[in-house]
A and B are shown apart, each in its own frame.
Chain A
Amino acid sequence: MNQAAVDPVVVHRMTSALQHRGPDDCGVYTAPRVALGHARLSILDLSGGRQPMHNAARSLSITFNGEIFNYLELRDELQGKGHCFTTSSDTEVILHLYEEEGERCVEKLNGQWAFAIWDQQRRRLFLSRDRLGVRPLFYTQTGNNFLFASEIKALFASPEVARDLDLEALDQIFTFWCLLPPRTAFKSVRQVPPGHSLMVENGQVRLWPHWRLEFDPESRYGEDGEQKLSEELLALLDDAVRIRLRSDVPVGTYLSGGLDSTFITALTKRRAGNHLRSFSVAFEDPSLDESAYQQQASAFLGTEHSTVQCSRDDIARVFPEVIWHAEQPILRTAPAPLFLLSRLVRDSGFKVVLTGEGADETLGGYDIFKEVKIRCFWVRNPQSTWRHLLLRRLYPYMEGIQRQPSAYLARFFQVDAQDPGLFFSHLPRWQLTAKAKAFYSDALRSELGRYDAMSELESSLPQAYRRWDPFLQAQFLESNYLLPGYILSSQGDRMAMAHSVEGRFPFLDHRVVEFASKLPVRLKMKVLQEKYLLKRCADGLVPSAVKKRKKQPYRAPDGDCFAQGAAREYLDELLSPDCVRRFGLFDPEAAAKLLAKFRAGRAIGAKDNMTLVGILSTQLLVSQFVNPLTRRDFLHANT
């Protein structure tokens, strides 16, 4: 959008940069002050849903990424009010709903969306992003231009957009693993935060929330009885799956072998009939591999199952591409296997998968929620010599914690009984992550000055946060920040869309999320039994071995992937003292010693692993985006 005229060449270039998200079709609409581009992944109304799309009067034009799952119900409602439709797409439903409801139209949508509507009569551009942040939406302003896109690389197709890293954002990643919206890794680029809309009108940009995640500890939900609530949850999830199966192309599922994806696959199978394809990742390292459970779940549910084997070398080989798609530094390699998985899905002829994402956040599955309960129990008697030892039972898969002397375990998870603070649940993890900052260069330290990522987070918290108990606070931190900022983005949308695959997440249906937010904590986690109510719903739907198994978080091999083999070529250059010094972010000597430690097989700790992956991914990001001349070398030399 421009106060004067828009350069159509730039818009074409921007759209081309998103071809991986939409390889089926592309379109550009230009008007005197605005241009909309679209790269289409055809899923609904394959022949009629071309974009950008206009209303009958051509006074409204839309470009839209995502899905509106309740579009059939909304369409009926709108037809009842006299609206006439020319396509059977969900895109057209948004246009008509906007005609009817204006900017509040998003309140009626059940889906995952990022869209922009150009309202020619009112000369305003309306952007919106879905409640939980499933679909990405970025924007920037340069001079008189307002540019937006699903990925940052499309904005960089305009030569006017500056590519400087946001150093404070980098510091956030080296604290929380994710960014605090509206920041991105780049200073000039902002993201529309999850659950927000934005209006550009009269040269002004207005941003506001259309939805908020809130917990209601005073809710009377718990009084309804477990049976009734588990029936209600099951009905909601079943309906969430039903509307997520709306597609004009075949839909598959991810089946990791855990409760959540098996549950979703089971509900999908009930509705999809005889033939359902499922997909998963298998690791060569037996401590990470869940193949046995995947096979068991697939056999129980009767899916045709396909697996991609993922080795350390595979991760190293695709890591540069992973960063190219993620567009931000990451501290774990976990997105890489999901990049390989989406490739398998695409190569199998699928564009859409249902997955179990979101159950851990909304229904109380993560170990950190157990951790917070144990630490609360410990706070009641900080002098206890045994209470903190319960923490060891939470992480049977983490050898370091099992072998850790108890005095050190206590120190790591230490609790200040007098002042547990706002971030009681996450502080041990964040403090551990932040230790990687010891590798910052002096120049970076000086640029950051007294910047404190946690203060910025504190200022973004809702008022009610302070009244919630530590369990709900932990849920909020996971759901509001890490879920959109890492799980659904670096590990989710960006890895799936790298191969033109769309993920759909029934647990993140807003009706499910809102239902779960009103549940009492004891129904999410009974003593230390995670996802208690969901497990009640799962009776008979999933194999009992899957239901009863101890939760195994999804993990991938980290720093070891880069010690030798496929990474050698780019690692030697990117972590060379010369390159590290040139990019100016990390201490060259320290980075070289860290790499030597990995190559000698002496790096075992989480800190070393996160640091190596964090430094490497940052160096890749700089080489690909800030100094793009070198990008091709690292992207394709090893793929």
Chain B
Amino acid sequence: MMTTPPHSTKIAPTAPVGDEGFLQIVEVSKKFGEVTVVDRLNLSVRRKEFFALLGSSGCGKSTLLRIMAGLETPSSGRVILDGQDITDLPAHRRPVNMMFQSYALFPHMNVSANVAYGLKREGVARLEREERVREALELVQMGAYAGHMPAQLSGGQQQRVALARSLVKSPKLLLLDEPMSALDKKIRQKTQFELGTILQKVGVTCVMVTHDQEEAMTMADRLAVMSEGAIVQMGTPENVYEAPSSRFAAEFIGSTNVFAGTLTEDGGSLLHCGELEQPLELGFAMANARQGHAVQVSIRPERIRLSFPEDDTTPPVHNSALGVVEQIGYMGSYTLYYLRLRSGRVVMVHVPREILVGFSQEPDYGDTLQLRWSVRSLVVLS
């Protein structure tokens, strides 16, 4: 359906483009004056993949998205889409459409005129245009609102119209800029699911920018954690969550407890950690590291098991600690405990509901509890 403008069909005379590297960001930098917002960044997105750029505000993720859309010109580097270098192609000639954070629906046009806008610019004949607008609105279940003005729609409805408008031209690449941020938290989850379903049906390659790790993890096939204009870690949500490569990634994706320690002997597997009375056991030997080598490890709060010391008659020598319950948060499916160790360090622990039911009595404020974790729960951060 996509009719590419004639001047943009300059496809590189290489072998047919596979699914890998459908979108390639090659050494892209963006400077605003003296400030480097995107710093020599490389990224590759597969065909039909849902890719999320995750980071806090100011990390450069939105600028990167705008570079993909052509709304911002990179200071250096190339953007390649489907084998074609689109770096110098202006926004209006790119086969890329974006759903804006504010949705950016044209307030002086009704729903169907908004959706038809892109097709009109492309010169699609009226009958076909009407048909495609109708189809796009059906897809997002907004067919009944074709004659409404944007101001008459709810936030969720506006979002669906914006989605229809960015999909109606059948772009090669769909960009989503914080798609849920303008919605109430309550309808966010439902909308995430609906949006995911629609995008799956359409089968479009999609790059989403978000600061919400939950949103990125639910919707994306792969994600990249960004900080200060560079990618900190890239992988599947599970991959990044279970094996964070850095403290930043570990703390940004979900919550975690990070311990800093030093190796007790050359090539050993035990860490001395000032905050823990017992050494940490890594479960593998750090063959090339010398005694005193500094290591950071992450332990996810749901990987720590709690028990009353009197119930746990054989406490392990390593990977355990005693802590006093300082705060309890009931989260529904799990309960959140903050325990203070003797060193003063506070550790966060999630206890699933069904485990808690097995306790002789529910741990209360001031109770002293035994914490333990397996070697497999430890992730060494670089």
Partners in one complex: no
Residues of chain B touching chain A, judged by Cβ–Cβ distance below 8 Å, are none
Residues of chain A touching chain B, judged by Cβ–Cβ distance below 8 Å, are none
